[in-house]
Amino acid sequence: MPLPQEKMYTIEDIYALPEGTRAELIDGEIFYMSPPSRTHQKIISKLNQAIANYIDINHGACEVYPAPFAVYLDENTNTYVEPDISVICDKKKLDDKGCKGAPDWIIEIVSPGSRRMDYYTKLFKYRTAGVREYWIVDPDKNSIMIWNFESEDTGQYTFSDSIKAGIYDDFSIDFSQLNI
């Protein structure tokens, strides 16, 4: 007796979800997302504000988008994600639906239900898609993990540290000043 075939979902299946349903599509599998906590949203807001202020003050070419913001990592793997924060420096990747291709910098805020996805699945997907820098902010562990895929550097920090953004020469985020 043959094994049952798993359904491979597509972007069209994501678009067909009921209004307000948040989900990501990774290699043709749908992963539903729980509503974020207040702390999760506060961290996103503070980080997005710090990055946007830096870009605006320096008349930068990059744009920053907080979730929900659609990122289509590539057309061949049926992968659609909504990173907590996406920084895109190549405006040709942007259209009204979101970002087509890898953002330059992605930040994910860990929730209880996203831990495995953020630390393993997305780490692999972001690296292979061409993301330049990936941060995982983990409020439960008071830690920030940094992967700079260009230089192949990694680092682990706390909410007391000031952390330099690898895609910029002169930008750091001082987590102790974010009042999280």
By the 8 A CB rule, do 148 and 156 touch?
Answer: no
Pick from 180, 87, 67: which is nearest to 134 by CA?
87
Read off the pLDDT of residues 118-159 as tens digits, 9 standing for 90 and up: 999 999 999 999 999 999 999 999 999 999 999 999 999 999
* Separation between Cα atoms, residue 110 and residue 162, nearest integer Å: 19
Rounded to whole angstroms, the maximal C-alpha distance in the chain is 64
pTM above 0.85, yes or no: yes
Parallel/antiparallel/unpaired status of strands 143-148 and 94-95: unpaired
Chain-centre distance for alpha carbon 115: 13
CA distance 126 to 12: 22
pLDDT value for 72: 95
pLDDT at 3: 57
Q: What is the pLDDT of residue 170?
A: 95
- List of the chain residues with pLDDT < 50: none
